[in-house]
Amino acid sequence: MCRLLAYFGSPVSLEPLLYKPEHSLIIQSYQPREMLSGVVNADGFGVGWYHLQKDIEPFIYKNTLPIWNDINLPSLSRYVESKCILAYIRSATPGQALDFSNSQPFQYQNLLFIHNGRINKFRQTLYRPIRNQLNDEIYQWLGGTTDSEHIFALVLSQWQANPGKSLEQALHATLLQLTEMAQSYQTYVYANLVISDGDRLVASRFGTKSPVPSLYWTANDSNFPNAAIIASEPLFAGNWNSCPENSIISIGKDCDIRIEQI
């Protein structure tokens, strides 16, 4: 079912996010507490971040190794510093290839995307219908075969078809579209995801059936002042808030939190 986290706020290195918390992503990779399916997240990981000064496309470091086996990540985590970080550990759906094209975060121009959840029986149900909804540019952009990347592609097509829409509106429309498609093809969707352009986070806790996978947020914690964090599971003891089921969560430049029901 995978685990994710997203950080936005005062610049911080990767180390205090990935390694220092008592229930960090490293720990969650082999000892998660709230996964609905699976027992470990050993099928790779990825981290994406934005440059502190330059307005350029984000950076990504990913591997198909378990996060605890990557010998380069500890050093990289002490070096990389950013105000906007997305990280992810993978528990691959049976049948999906364990390769870099299927590893998150996914990137399109200045956008980063991570997803925890699944489309049940994706290849047999929504794989072709989703691809039929994509514009040609996004169809050609697709590089992998996961349901996660296809959900991102659907958001991108919605956004490009309605350039006046915000990311929140494009995401809202996509989740409604997925709901209709899931009903038509008698399947279900879990879509806990985060999208960022480097200046904000837009996330959802969403499912077409209950229980919806866990998702939490915290802001201005003493460990991370002037910042907000979204995570599949709380990273440390503190004032963590469970995101409402079927909601969109937005974190803006001043780390203000907005939550809207879908």
Per-residue tokens: 13: 């290195």
Per-residue tokens: 78: 């002490």
Residues near 78 by beta carbon (within 8 Å), at least 6 away in sequence = 13, 14, 15
Going 139 to 143 to 145 to 151, the CA torsion angle's sign is negative
Q: Look up 2 and say whether it is catalytic.
A: yes
Q: Do 5 and 229 touch, CB atoms closer than 8 A? A: yes
Burial of 185 (0-12, 13-18, 19+ CB in 10 A): middle
Identity of residue 10: S
Per-residue tokens: 146: 């996961």
Place of tokens 């229980």: 211
Instruction: Name the active-site residue from 2, 84, 243, 255.
Output: 2
Active site residues: 2
